[in-house]
């Protein structure tokens, strides 16, 4: 099941050229790019691991793409990678754009667990199939 979160996630995966164009858009707006990765696809998992430190003071997308290439070298295939663009201007001081750039080749999806409670009430929870395996071995 394809994970859809962040911008453009209902579209086919972007090519490097398309990612680069988005990066340039962010840079032109004065936002700082940042790369993050995780192997836990649960939608409530909002805090992903940071790849290095946020990329401040970069003028051109090529510099950011260098960092993405370095991140991919380590994590592509075994992790989701997303880029986030941080707007530091007053009043925002927050993420303005978030987009998944890389995903594992096979995404098994989620199962629903039902828990019977007192008075025949049922509590539902979702669990990603991959998380039954330990972190770091989920998409190998």
Answer for which of 66, 74, 95, 111 binds another protein (CB under 8 A) is: 66
Q: Does residue 108 touch another protein according to CB under 8 A?
A: no
Which residue stretch of 8-16, 39-47, 51-59, 81-89 sits at the interface with another protein (rule: CB under 8 A)?
51-59
Q: Which of 93, 77, 94, 110 is nearest to 4 (CA)?
A: 110
Question: CB–CB of 6/35 below 8 Å?
Answer: no
Structure tokens at 3: 């994970």
Size of the site for another protein (CB under 8 A): 11
Answer for which of 32, 61, 100, 130 binds another protein (CB under 8 A) is: 61
Site string for another protein, 6-45 (x = CB under 8 A): ----------------------------------------
Shortest distance in whole angstroms from residue 96 CB to another protein: 21
Question: CB–CB of 40/105 below 8 Å?
Answer: no
Which residue stretch of 50-58, 77-85, 106-114, 130-138 sits at the interface with another protein (rule: CB under 8 A)?
50-58
Q: Which of 5, 11, 39, 18 is nearest to 107 (CA)?
A: 39
The CA distances from residue 80 to 65, 70, 114, in Å, are: 16, 14, 28
Residue 5 or residue 24: which is nearer to another protein going by CB? 24
Q: Does residue 55 touch another protein according to CB under 8 A?
A: yes
Geometric angle at alpha carbon 37, from 44 and 77, rounded to 5°: 115
């Amino acid at each position: 099941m394809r994970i859809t979160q962040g911008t453009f996630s209902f579209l086919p995966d972007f090519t490097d050229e398309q990612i680069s164009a988005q990066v340039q858009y962010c840079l032109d707006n004065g936002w700082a790019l940042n790369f993050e990765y995780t192997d836990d696809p649960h939608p409530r998992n909002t805090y992903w691991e940071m790849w290095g430190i946020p990329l401040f003071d970069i003028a051109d997308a090529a510099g950011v793409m260098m960092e993405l290439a370095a991140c991919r070298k380590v994590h592509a295939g075994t992790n989701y990678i997303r880029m986030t663009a941080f707007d530091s201007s007053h009043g925002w001081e927050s993420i303005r754009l978030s987009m998944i750039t890389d995903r594992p080749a096979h995404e098994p999806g989620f199962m629903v667990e039902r828990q019977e409670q007192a008075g025949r009430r049922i509590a539902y929870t979702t669990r990603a199939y991959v998380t039954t395996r330990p972190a770091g071995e989920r998409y190998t």
